[in-house]
Amino acid sequence: MKRRLEADLAATPVPPVLTSVVRLWRENGEPPQPASRWPRGPWLEQFPGQRSFLTTLPEAVDRAEATRHAARATTPEGAEQAFLVSMIWGYGRVGYGPWRTARVLAENPHAPGRLAEVALVAREHGGPAAFRELSGRPLRYLGVAFGTKYLRFVTAAQYAGGAGAPILDAVVRRWLATHTGLRLHIDGWRPAVYDRYVALLTSWAVELGLDVDTVEELIFRSAISRERSAQWAERWAAPAEPAAAPSPGQQALATLLELEQQFDTADPELAREARHHLDELARIIRRGWAG
């Protein structure tokens, strides 16, 4: 198994597009990812018991802010607040974010304690181990895409062995499928899939002189900027010819990406069924607009 994984990684060099993104990022002074603005009112409505905490948060939450709160995630109270900040960062201005976050906590009565257990594993053993721990007793309605956002911040805050565990969501998944042909199934908590993903990004991080977390971040930032379809689009990460209108194929893929993101927090069975069809649509679009 280990030899097969090493051979797989050796056959997957750093994609030229990622090398180009890293170069542009460095040439522009390594700008941090823009903070995520969020609508305070709906979150206060969904979490009246956390009003005093939520009112202390800034109007825009960045990775550093979320990591700071994750440092207290080893107790149930601290874990719940760390989870809230992670979800606020992840959802940003998306209107259904507060409701979906509340649903995770409401449908899992012992969620804060479970999140604290995961943070303790992250502190001792790192991201893949925390992923494996959560996969053993996953929280209902918390999928891989948003679950790894929480893991990212608790590992960055807790684990002494390195940076945060990389997030694996629809944006990164689609980017990997486009530029490497690697299709990672994130409709369920599969530790082997996440281990493979972390190993791949680790090999790229060594070659690029970055940590794994930064590699994932730059993949996300470049993908979202090229799609021109999300709140975090950045001028430096966009294509070299920003004035050119996107092709019909690019527009279709951007729409497909937005749709796939909706399933990041869907019921696992629904997400599994939808992802199969979305993958097939992506193949049809690329074949139809090839060249």
User: What angle do helix axes 191-208 and 127-136 make, rounded to 10 degrees?
Assistant: 170
Residue 209, by phi and psi: left (phi above 0), alpha (psi -120 to 50) or beta?
Answer: left
User: Could you read off the pLDDT of 125-175 as tens digits, one per residue?
Assistant: 999 999 999 999 999 999 999 999 999 999 998 876 556 799 999 899 989
How large is the average pLDDT for residues 204-209? 95
Cα 165 to Cα 159: distance, rounded to the nearest angstrom: 9
Q: What is the Cα Rg of the chain in Å?
A: 19
Q: Tell me the domain boundaries of the chain.
A: 2-27+167-288, 36-158
Across 35-39, 241-245, 261-265, the highest mean pLDDT is recorded for: 35-39
Cα 52 to Cα 48: distance, rounded to the nearest angstrom: 9
Long-range Cβ contacts of 173-179 (<8 Å, 24+ apart): 173/260, 174/223, 174/253, 174/256, 174/257, 174/260, 174/282, 175/219, 175/220, 175/222, 175/223, 176/219, 177/279, 177/282, 179/15, 179/17, 179/18
pLDDT tier, 237 (very low <50, low <70, confident <90, very high otherwise)? confident
Q: Tell me which of 225 and 279 has the higher pLDDT.
A: 225
pLDDT at 286 over 80: no
How large is the average pLDDT for residues 217-246? 68
User: Could you read off the pLDDT of 78-124 as tens digits, one per residue?
Assistant: 999 999 999 999 999 989 999 999 999 999 989 999 999 999 999 88
In eight-state DSSP terms, residue 95 is T
Cα 91 to Cα 37: distance, rounded to the nearest angstrom: 9
Q: Where are the alpha helices (DSSP H) in the chain?
A: 2-10, 16-27, 40-46, 51-54, 63-70, 76-91, 97-107, 111-125, 127-136, 144-158, 170-180, 191-208, 212-227, 248-262, 268-288
Beta bridge partners of residue 60, listed in sequence order: 37
Among the ranges given (85-99, 111-125, 189-203, 255-269), the one the predictor scored with the smallest mean pLDDT: 255-269
Mean pLDDT of the chain, nearest integer = 84
Contacts of 84 (CB under 8 A, 6+ apart): 43, 47, 50, 53, 54, 101
Note the pTM of the prediction, 2 decimals: 0.82
The pLDDT, as a whole number, for residue 185 is 83
Contacts of 282 (CB under 8 A, 6+ apart): 174, 177, 253, 256
pLDDT at 1 over 60: no
How large is the average pLDDT for residues 195-205? 95
